[in-house]
A and B are shown apart, each in its own frame.
Chain A
Amino acid sequence: GAVVSQHPSRVICKSGTSVKIECRSLDFQATTMFWYRQFPKQSLMLMATSNEGSKATYEQGVEKDKFLINHASLTLSTLTVTSAHPEDSSFYICSARDSAGIGTGELFFGEGSRLTVL
C-alpha cells in the first residue's frame, strides 16, 4: 500500500520555540493532505486541510498563525507549531490521499509525531 512518512516521530522543545513536522508521501502524489491532532485516549480531530500550491483550510478553533501549514510540493506538507506552549503537547498525525485514487476514498496515515513542550 501507499506509504506516508512523518518526521520527527518524537520531539521535545522548550516553551516559546517553534517546531516543524514533515509529512511526505513516498510513493504517490498527494494534492491534498490532512493534519489531525490526537490528545491521549481521545479521537483524531481535524486541524486543517493542506492543498498543494495554495493556502491551507483550517477548522474552526484552530489558529492559523500558530499552526503554519505549507504544502509546497505534491509529496510534502509541513506543520510548524510556532511559539509552542505546554498545552500544544499532543500527538499530531498527517494523512494523504493518492491523487490518482480519489475514487477509493482511502486515506493513508503517517506514523504520527508526539510533541512535548516543556
Chain B
Amino acid sequence: AQTVTQSQPEMSVQEAETVTLSCTYDTSENNYYLFWYKQPPSRQMILVIRQEAYKQQNATENRFSVNFQKAAKSFSLKISDSQLGDTAMYFCAFMKHGSGNTPLVFGKGTRLSVIA
C-alpha cells in the first residue's frame, strides 16, 4: 500500500516570501502521479500542481513549483511570492497509474498561514 507523509503540520510565511512544504511517499510502483491540493476555509479542494513520475522535469504553475526527487521519494512544494490568499491546508497526494478507478491517497496535510 502507498503512504504519503507530510511532516509539517503547520507553517507560516511572511507575505511576498517563499515557503517550501515537504512531502515524502512510499510506493513500489514505478508509474504514478503526485499532486498538491489546496483546501481553503471553504473546504473546496483545489488542484495546485501535478507531476507525472516518468517526467524528470519538475512541474511549475506560476508561483508554485515542485522539487520531485524520485529516488528519494520526495515531492516538495515551493510557493514563491506568497500571498494572503495562499493561506490554506495543503495536501500532498499520490495516485498510481492505471485505470480510472485508482483513488488519490492523501497525506495528513500542512496548514499554511501567510502573514501580512
Seen from chain A, the residues whose Cβ lies within 8 Å of a Cβ on chain B are 31-32, 34, 38, 42-46, 49, 51, 57, 91, 93, 95, 97, 99, 102, 104-107, 109, 111-112, 114
Cα–Cα distance between A112 and B89 once the two chains are bound (Å)? 15
Interface residues, chain B, with chain A CB atoms under 8 Å away: 33, 35, 42-45, 47, 50, 52, 91, 95, 97, 99-101, 103-109
- List, sorted by A's number, 17 A–B pairs whose CB atoms are closer than 8 Å: A31-B100, A31-B101, A34-B104, A43-B106, A43-B107, A44-B91, A49-B103, A95-B45, A97-B100, A102-B100, A105-B50, A105-B52, A105-B95, A107-B95, A107-B104, A111-B43, A111-B44
* Chief secondary structure at chain B's binding surface: loop
Residue from B99, B106, B107, B109 within 8 A of A102 (CB atoms): B99
Q: How far is the CA of A32 from the CA of B101 in the complex (A)?
A: 6
B103–A34 touching, CB < 8 Å: yes
Please measure, in the bound complex, the distance between the C-alpha atom of A46 and the C-alpha atom of B99, giving whole angstroms.
Answer: 17
Question: Which A residues lie within 8 Å of B47 (CB)?
Answer: 106
Contacts of B35 in A (CB 8 A): 105-106
